[in-house]
Amino acid sequence: MFKQGDLIDGKYKVIKKIGEGGFGAVLEVYSLEKRDYFALKYCSSKDQDYLKRFDREVRLMQAINHENVIKVFDFNLDYDVPYFCMPLAKHSLKEIVPLEVAHCAQIFEQMCNGVNAIHLSGSTHRDIKPENILVMHDDTIVVSDLGLSKFDMRDSTVLTQTDVWMGTSAYMPPEQRTFGGTRDLQHSGDVYMLGKTLYEMISGRVPYAINYSEVPTKFHMVIRKATQEHAEDRYQHVGNLLDAFLDSYRVMTEININSFKTIIKIAMEKTKQKESIEEFAITIVDYVKKQEDFKEVIEMFHEINEEVLENIVINHESIFLDLLKKYHRAIEREIENFPFIFAEEVDKRMNILIKQTTSVEIKSKALTIILIAAVDLNRFSVMDSFNSILTKVNDEVLAEYIAEELRTNINYYKKIYDQIPRRELHPAIAVVWDRC
């Protein structure tokens, strides 16, 4: 109905189509008023039932104010083609499955919180699936597409006839496929769909049938109970499902952390015996890289004792750089939640790396991490360490790498740049000093 460049309601310029349904579509649009990009959903059908359903979707979204439920910020149901506008998402959950378990836990918790908010508002979603779970640009997860949703107390209506079932086959609970099933679906039906969606998040497979060998054993019971054939045998509330999932995840994580500590211990013994730890080094690096919780990344990095750390950075520079980049992101996000003295622990480890490695990338990244720790935790001794290293840089290539890191992290450098006179810096670094 709309093509690129069209103007909707005199204020939304069509950029492209990003989704399509039975009686309308979702477009990416540019708001001439707000000067920003948004998602616009419109109803192209003139059928009164579809128009009423579209109106109900808007009312449902207006009734819910929760960070994990999609928001409507503008609408015009009297326009020639009724529409409403929402924030523009980065992508749907469907586009990124399967997920690492830690990432899955982070997303599933937000999904459940969103669906629970819908239930607490007095509604049922009725079409939960990965396509209807959106990842926003700040990585917040929102439940979207409330087109099949209903107000529990008011909507056992003609909008969903008794002889019609609507939804998505692979995720539907058995009762939704029966005579009047969609119309009469209860919250336990949403629980069933969450269970099916959880299975797909981990396995990457559309859940027409569930193969439990494709998900960790710890989650078998959770998925099995959520997807019981009879509604009364399932978790009766989304909160019960989420509690069971998080309990299983915590048990699984605790076992893995203990395993990680065991691997470190073995690697330490082999290092003392001057034996190769290549296998263990790869396992250690991969394990930390896969962690999604940034605080966990920092804590695990600091579980690696100094001897093993030296061994890995000397003998496995290429894989270690990826680990250091992950640690860098974690430090940026989480170091303010650590005690002030922790900056000195960070400084000590980064100095080990700088002294032991020949990689200018690792050296420059490690120096940046010292800078962040010094500034965010306001430790003058760590600032002195940073300044001491910086003034000793005389290698041209290393200076260029450090200069680029400082440009990228200029907001940190600006806070302490004047502690060293410009004349004491390598020319490549002095140019960044001038920017401060």
The pLDDT tens digits of the residues spanning 292-325 come to 788 989 999 999 999 999 999 998 888 899 899 9
The answer to whether residue 178 scores a pLDDT higher than 80 is no
The answer to whether residue 122 scores a pLDDT higher than 70 is yes
- What is the chain's alpha carbon radius of gyration, rounded to the nearest angstrom? 27
Higher per-residue confidence, 319 vs 36: 36
Distance in angstroms (rounded) separating the CA atoms of residues 14 and 225: 44
Q: Which of 6-10, 75-79, 181-185, 358-362 has the lowest mean pLDDT?
A: 181-185
Mean residue pLDDT of the chain comes to: 90
CB 288 within 8 A of CB 324: no
SS (H, E, C) the chain: CCCCCCEECCCEEEEEEEEEECCEEEEEEEECCCCEEEEEEEECCCCHHHHHHHHHHHHHHHCCCCCCECCCCEEECCCCCCEEEEECCCEEHHHCCCCCHHHHHHHHHHHHHHHHHHHHCCEECCCCCHHHEEECCCCCEEECCCCCCEECCCCCCCCCCCCCCCCCHHHCCHHHHCCCHHHHCCHHHHHHHHHHHHHHHHHCCCCCCCCHHHCCHHHHHHHHHHCCCCHHHCCCCHHHHHHHHHHHHHHHHHHHHHHHHHHHHHHHHHHHCCCCCHHHHHHHHHHHHHCCCHHHHHHHHCCCCHHHHHHHHHHCHHHHHHHHHHHHHHHHHHHHHCCCCHHHHHHHHHHHHHHHCCCHHHHHHHHHHHHHHHHHCCCHHHHHHHHHHHHCCCCHHHHHHHHHHHHHCHHHHCCCHHHCCHHHCCHHHHHHHHHC
CB 202 within 8 A of CB 219: yes
Q: What percent of the chain has pLDDT over 70?
A: 93
- CB-based burial of residue 289 (10 Å sphere; 0-12 exposed, 13-18 middle, 19+ buried)? middle
The answer to whether residue 160 scores a pLDDT higher than 50 is no
pLDDT of residue 277: 85
Where do the domains of the chain lie? 7-87, 91-245, 277-435
Same CATH topology for 7-87 and 91-245: the answer is: no
Domain at 7-87, CATH class: alpha beta
Backbone φ, ψ for residue 378 (5° rounding): 50, 50
pLDDT of residue 162: 40
pLDDT of residue 150: 55
The pLDDT tens digits of the residues spanning 191-204 come to 999 999 999 999 99
Distance in angstroms (rounded) separating the CA atoms of residues 370 and 178: 63
The answer to whether residue 99 scores a pLDDT higher than 80 is yes
Q: Which of 43-52, 85-94, 111-120, 224-233 has the lowest mean pLDDT?
A: 43-52
Where does the pLDDT of residue 156 fall: very low under 50, low under 70, confident under 90, or very high at 90 and above?
Answer: very low
pLDDT of residue 155: 45
Residue of 207, 245, 65 whose CA lies nearest to 128:
207
The answer to whether residue 159 scores a pLDDT higher than 60 is no
Joined together, the tokens standing for residue 224 give 């099995």
pLDDT of residue 255: 63
Residue burial 181-214, b: 16+ Cβ < 10 Å; e: rest: bbbbbebbbbbbbbbbbbbbbbbebbbeebeeee
Higher per-residue confidence, 24 vs 57: 57
Mean local confidence (pLDDT), 49-55: 85
The pLDDT tens digits of the residues spanning 214-225 come to 998 889 999 999
CB 171 within 8 A of CB 129: yes
Residue burial 17-31, b: 16+ Cβ < 10 Å; e: rest: ebeeeebbbbbbbbb
Mean local confidence (pLDDT), 59-85: 92
Stated pTM of the model = 0.62
pLDDT of residue 166: 57
Query: Among 1.10.357.10, 1.10.10.60, 1.10.3720.10, 1.10.510.10, what is the CATH number of 91-245?
Result: 1.10.510.10
Joined together, the tokens standing for residue 79 give 């326009």
CB 357 within 8 A of CB 363: yes
The pLDDT tens digits of the residues spanning 321-334 come to 989 999 999 999 99
Where does the pLDDT of residue 182 fall: very low under 50, low under 70, confident under 90, or very high at 90 and above?
Answer: low
Which residues on neighbouring strands pair with residue 142, listed in sequence order?
134
The pLDDT tens digits of the residues spanning 331-359 come to 999 999 999 999 999 999 999 999 999 99
Mean local confidence (pLDDT), 7-30: 90
